[in-house]
Amino acid sequence: MGYKRVCISCRISVNRDIGSDSEREHPCPECGTPMLFLPHRFRPPQKEDKQAWNVVKFLIENGFPFQHVYKEGSDEYHKKPTDNYVPYPKNLRDAEAFVEKYKNQSLNN
């Protein structure tokens, strides 16, 4: 399954397949800093959309690098696991509420 390498500063995303010989550190082609490694479900905003990139940065800094977040803590109570997934917010106000509501699922927790 593919992954995305993302540079928040330069607002770019690069698709990369991962295999046994794949490196996890990859420098940004524009600024040279190490790119973040995010799952395939991350959908990068347009480069010009600074507000959307600010939301991405806020979520990642608060421990939500676009991993699955569950409405009720796990997927075992639902017909399909996707029935219980919470969609990621699109604006900063909703992102702040999202982080507060699901802080127990944060990777920073």
Q: Give 34-55 pLDDT, tens digit per residue.
A: 999 898 889 999 999 999 999 9
Segment 15-40, tens digit of pLDDT: 876 654 455 678 899 999 999 989 88
Same domain, 32 and 49: no
Give the separation between CA 10 and CA 22, rounded to whole angstroms: 23
Cα angle, residue 89 at apex, residues 17 and 51 outer, rounded to 5°: 85
Pair (51, 65) in one structural domain = yes
Q: Per the structure, how many domains does the chain have? A: 2
Q: Determine the structural domain holding residue 34 and report its residue range.
A: 1-44
Q: Are residues 109 and 61 in the same domain?
A: yes
Q: Which residues contact 1 (CB under 8 A, 6 or more apart)?
A: 18, 40
Whole-angstrom distance, CA of residue 69 vs CA of residue 90: 15
This prediction has a pTM of 0.82
Q: Estimate the crossing angle of helix 50-61 against helix 92-101, to 10 degrees.
A: 10
- Whether residue 49 is found in the same domain as residue 89: yes
Q: Are residues 14 and 60 in the same domain?
A: no
